[in-house]
Chains A and B, each alone.
Chain A
Amino acid sequence: MCRTVDLHQAVLAKNDENALALRGYLGDRGTVAVNLLSSPGSGKTALLEQLLTRAVAGGTPAAAVTADLATENDATRLARSGAPVRQILTDGLCHLEAGMLRRKLEGWLPEGTRLLFVENVGNLVCPASYDLGETLRVALASVTEGEDKPVKYPTAFGLAQLVVITKTDIADAVGFDREAFLRGVRQVNPGVPVLETSARTGVGVDALLAHVLRCAAGEETHVPVLAREHERYLRSHENGHEHGHEHPPADGHEHGDGHTHGDEHRPAGGHDHTGRHEHVDGREHVHASTRPGVRGQTR
C-alpha cells in the first residue's frame, strides 16, 4: 500500500525566500537593485560601464556585481568607472540565484549605495526564472540579434519592467526592424517601457539612468502581466503575513490593502527626456505613488 503526501510547494520557494530577505536587506540600506538580463554579446557590460560612469559623475552612489561562468574581465572593465565592483564566478551555473547574490553582498556592499546594478549571466533563458530581490528588472537586446528575440524568449522579456535596445548606432547597417521588435515586446509584455541606447555614441544612456533613478525613487513602475501573481505573493509577506515554504494558491491570498495592479493607464510617451521612451501600448503603467506602503519593489 502506498502513502500519498500532498505538498503543494513552490519549487523556487527557497530562492523566493532569499530574494525576499535580500529585498529587505537592500531596502534597509536604501539600496535599489537593478537586474540586467540579456544574451551574451548584447552589450550589457558596455552599457553598464557608461551607466556607472555617469552615476558616479552625477553624484549617485552606485555599485555593480557582474556574473560570469569564468574570468574577471567584466569586473576589471567596469571598475574603470570608479564605482565599487565585484565579480561573481558561477563555476558553470547559467544564472544567478538570490542566495548567491546575498552571500556576495553581505559584508561588501558599501554603505550608502543607492543603485546596485546586477549584471546577470549572459543568457535569456535561465536567469528569467530567478527573482534576485531586485526592484527593477531590465531585459536588453541588441539590434544585431534579430527582431524576434522577445517572442523567442517570452519569459525573459515578459517579466521585464523595462526593455532596452542596445547598439542602436548600427541599427540601419544591420537592417533592424524596430516596429517588429516593438510588436513582439507588446505581445509578451503589454505596456512595458522601451528605451533605445548606444553605449558607443552615448545616445539614450542619460535617459536610461534617469529612468532607473525614477524607479529607485518609486516614481515609476511597471508590473508585467506575467509577474502579477508573484508580486502578490511577495507583497503579502511584506505586509507581515506569516511566511512558510509554500506559495499560496493563485486565487487564495489577496493583498491586504485591497489595491490592484495595473489599474491606472497613462498615455504613451509622457516623459521629456532625450532618447526614445515608449510605452508599447500606453497601458498598464502604474505610478508607485498610487500604491500605499510600497517602495519600488515590483516583482
Chain B
Amino acid sequence: MHELSIAVAVVEQVEEAVRDQGRAVESLTLRIGELAGVVPEALDFSFGLAAEGTALAGARLLIETVEARGRCEGCGREAPTGMPPVLWCAGCGAPLTLLGGRELEIVRVTLADGRPEVRDEEASHVPHR
C-alpha cells in the first residue's frame, strides 16, 4: 500500500507550491500511467487521509490515466503494450521503446476563490471527491 506514501508526497509538494497563494486547493489533477505501479482507487482513498488538516483538505482528486504504448525500433510498429505489458514487438520480436505509461505526475492545481478558512469549514462536510 505505497499509495499512502505517494499521497503524502503529493500533498507535501502541492502545499509547498501553493503556500504563498493563501487559498485552499479545490482540486488537483494527477496523471498516472498504467505501468506506474499505482492503483488509482487506493491512491484516492489514501489522498483523503493524507490531505486531512492541510490546505488540500476536501480537495477533489482528479486522475488522468495514461495508456501504455510502445514503438518497435525495428519495424516501426506502434501499439498499446497491454497489461501486463508485452514489451517486445509482436511483429519482429525486438524490444520496444516505451512511449508512455509510467507517468506519475502532478499536472495542475485549481485554487478556490475567497478566504481559505471558509473553505476549510465547508471541507469538513464535503467528501473528498
Contacts and interface: CB of A to CB of B under 8 A. Distances in A.
A200 to B, nearest CB: 31
Given A4-B108, A12-B104, A190 B5 contact: no
Contacts, number: 131
Contacts of B98: 225-226, 228-229
25 contacts: A1-B113, A4-B109, A5-B17, A5-B18, A5-B109, A7-B14, A7-B106, A8-B106, A14-B9, A126-B5, A129-B2, A129-B6, A129-B38, A152-B84, A154-B35, A158-B87, A186-B88, A188-B84, A191-B95, A226-B87, A226-B98, A228-B98, A229-B98, A250-B99, A281-B88
A219 B94 CA distance: 23
B1 interface: yes
A97 B5 CA distance: 10
Interface residues of B, number: 45
A2 interface: yes
A188 B87 contact: yes
Interface string B75-87: 0000000011111
A4 B111 CA distance: 6
A189 B85 CA distance: 9
Contacts of B21: 3, 5
Interface string B1-42: 110011001101110011001010010001000011110000
A76 to B, nearest CB: 27
A247 B37 CA distance: 18
B19 to A, nearest CB: 12
Contacts of A9: 13, 17, 105-106
A193 B30 CA distance: 35
B93 interface: yes
B84 A95 contact: no
Q: Is the interface of A mostly helix, strand, loop or mixed?
A: mixed
A23 to B, nearest CB: 20
B65 interface: no
B107 interface: yes
A273 interface: no
Q: Which of A10, A125, A129 has the most CB of B within 10 A?
A: A129
A11 B6 contact: yes
A247 B36 CA distance: 15
